Structure 1
Amino acid sequence: MSDPTLKSLFRDRFGSAPDVPSEMAEASVLKRIAARGSCRWFDGKVPTQDVLETLCAAALCAPSKSDLQQRDLLIVSDQTMMTELKTLLKAQEWIADAPAMVVFLANNRRQRQIQTWHDQPFPNDHLDAFFNASLDAGIALAFFMAAAENAGLGCCPISTIRNHLPEVKDLLQLPNHVFPVAGLAVGYPRYEPRVSARLPLEATVHHNSFADTSKEQVLAYDARRLAGSEGPGWSDAKARMYAEPQRQDFAAFMRKIGFNLD
């Protein structure tokens, strides 16, 4: 089978593709990114600590807001702790077979400590402090996944860790101003991960000014994603999901661990 082109991989994902410049067309990293999928089925081989620490180092090469570096990574290697964490996340059954777990933490505590060590005030105790630390952790998560998948591993982020913030705080001994943005299951794929179709580029890439996604674009995407199979379309499923209350105690927990969200 011939090697798929980057443009064809993008077309499979989005239904259309940009005109890929010739100097980018054969970039293997771009092809792997275009063909990536979340991995929820692992072959059982456990990544070594050297592998995980190398991927953490790659993740922490990511940019951070004003070089504040408000993100930490926590490798869960203790088996008792791993079992407890997986028990908390048991609503997603596939997590039970995840060979390794890394938790991506937003860490606004360190900067507050630095202010104290240098006898400086902390006048930025407002929503931006929470946002900056969260974003730093999210960027590190993306870098970790890109590094892992390019090294032959598979990953899947776990946002449901935020459904259990008090329990995770206790389990991982997290101090105030430190919280999990996401967990990440890491291992070697049992199968080739499935590629999920995405909303069309025309609906999500903007030039010079923002334009709303049209209903017609979403319905066309629903049809492309279903591709003749039965079941609710993407927009119907997501509308139903978000019709149910989720994490209504999130802000209260953030305030409890010291964040001022004003």
Structure 2
Amino acid sequence: MIQIADHRVHRRYSDRPVEPDLIRLICALALSAPSKSDLQQRDIVVVTDPALRRRIAAFLPHMPWVREAPAFLVFCANGARLPEIARMRGKPFANDHLDLFFNATADAAIALATAIRAAEAMGLGCCPISEIRNNARDVSDWLALPERVIPFAGFCLGWPADAGQISPRLPLATTVHEDRYGCTTLATDLAAYDRRRRAQQPYPEQRNTARWGEAVDYGWSEDKARQYAEPQRTEFGAFVRQRGFRLD
């Protein structure tokens, strides 16, 4: 329990390499995670080609840890394997709809979370990279992902160069519900959370001050409101459909 509560993202790593056998063990542990109906709709690509890593890192210049981490993996949602198994076994595949995509991405997310726990148990540090989906088409081409397999998240891995920092989370009063969903105190809960987060982990800078100006009390809620005031991944739905997933 203490180890889970002590989770922190690491973006700075020592020069010590992560041995291939250790990476393979982390992959094995990640893929031993629970999977919807034992369908196992998730794969991992271990990026070892320096040129390929540089290509991925080049479109994320604000994330130098993608280039600098000793190891980099890409977790993928795999909706291709089950239709292929159905074809091999001479059976129809009657579930080519939104649930295929939903289950594959959920499996990838669970595997990623399990990889984080496995890495931390070994003393390693890591950082998930969701922004690879900002360039999902190119990443898919570079990794030679087939139809119905899409990149879910990158994963930086290495031996931590510093202690990292724990990010305080929203209070349980906001996020845990009993019997029925309800949160009547969101405004006051957020205000208290913003104050606590500013005291423990203040933001080094404010987003898009040219548009929104400088906030006197800049906290998590203001940061996230500004972040999602700008369109993000507006082409992702079209990309997912283009890769063969049906979303109806």
TM-score, length of structure 1 as denominator length:
0.86
Matched letter for residue 227 of structure 2: M
Alpha-carbon distance, 1:89 to partner: 2.3
1:248 matched to 2:234? The reply is: yes
Counterpart residue number, 2:187:
215
1:64 lines up with 2:35 in the alignment: yes
1:227 aligns with 2:191: no
Please name the residue that 2:114 is paired with: 143
Q: Hey, what's the Cα distance between the residues in 2 that align with 1:82 and 1:237?
A: 30
CA distance in 2, matches of 1:106, 1:117: 21
The letter for the 1-side match of 2:233 is R
- Letter matched to residue 64 of structure 1: S
How much does 1:98 deviate? 1.3
Amino acid at match of 2:244: G
- Cα RMSD for the two superposed structures: 1.3
Q: Deviations over 1:27-60 (max 9, x none)?
A: xxx1111111000010121201101000000011
Matches of 1:102 and 1:206, distance apart in 2: 35
CA contact (8 A) 1:70 1:132 kept: yes
Contact 1:73 1:105 in 2 (8 A): yes
Structure 2, gaps ≥5 residues long: 207-217
* Equivalence for 1:14: none
Given the alignment, which residue of 123, 126, 133 partners 2:104?
A: 133
Mapped to 2, the partners of 1:155 and 1:49 lie a distance apart of 16
Distance 2:17 2:138 in 1: 25
Post-superposition offset of 1:88: 2.6
1:175 aligns with 2:161: no
**What secondary structure is seen at the aligned counterpart in 2 of 1:66?**
helix
Is the 8 Å Cα contact of residues 80 and 147 (structure 2) preserved in structure 1?
A: yes
How far the C-alpha of 1:201 sits from its partner, in A, is 1.4
Give the secondary-structure state (helix, strand or coil) at the position aligned to 2:91.
Answer: coil
Deviation at 1:104, TM superposition (A): 0.3
| Corresponding residue number in structure 1 for 2:246 | 260
User: How far is 1:233 from its partner?
Assistant: 0.5
**Matches for 1:1-262 after TM superposition, within 5 Å:** 30-212=1-183, 214-227=186-199, 232-262=218-248
In 1, the alpha carbon distance for the partners of 2:125 and 2:77 equals 23
Identity rate of aligned residues, in percent?
47
Mapped to 2, the partners of 1:150 and 1:217 lie a distance apart of: 33
Q: Which runs of 5+ in 1 are unaligned?
A: 1-29
Alignment partners' CA distance in 1, 2:12 and 2:227: 24
Shift of 1:95: 2.3
Shift of residue 214 of structure 1?
Answer: 1.1
Distance (whole Å) between structure 2 residues aligned to residue 227 and residue 173 of structure 1: 45
The CA distance in 2 between the partners of 1:92 and 1:83, in whole Å, is 12
8 Å CA contact 1:159, 1:182 repeated in 2 = yes
Contact 1:58 1:147 in 2 (8 A): yes
Separation in 2 of the partners of 1:57 and 1:94?
Answer: 24
The equivalent residue for 1:5 is: none
Query: Is the Cα contact below 8 Å between 1:109 and 1:177 reproduced in 2?
Result: yes
How far did residue 145 of structure 1 move?
Answer: 0.4
Q: In the alignment, is the contact (CA less than 8 A) between 1:42 and 1:191 conserved in 2?
A: yes
**Structure 2: distance between partners of 1:226 and 1:90:** 27
Q: How many residues align?
A: 233
Deviations 1:204-234 (A, max 9, x none): 1122221126111011100110018576210
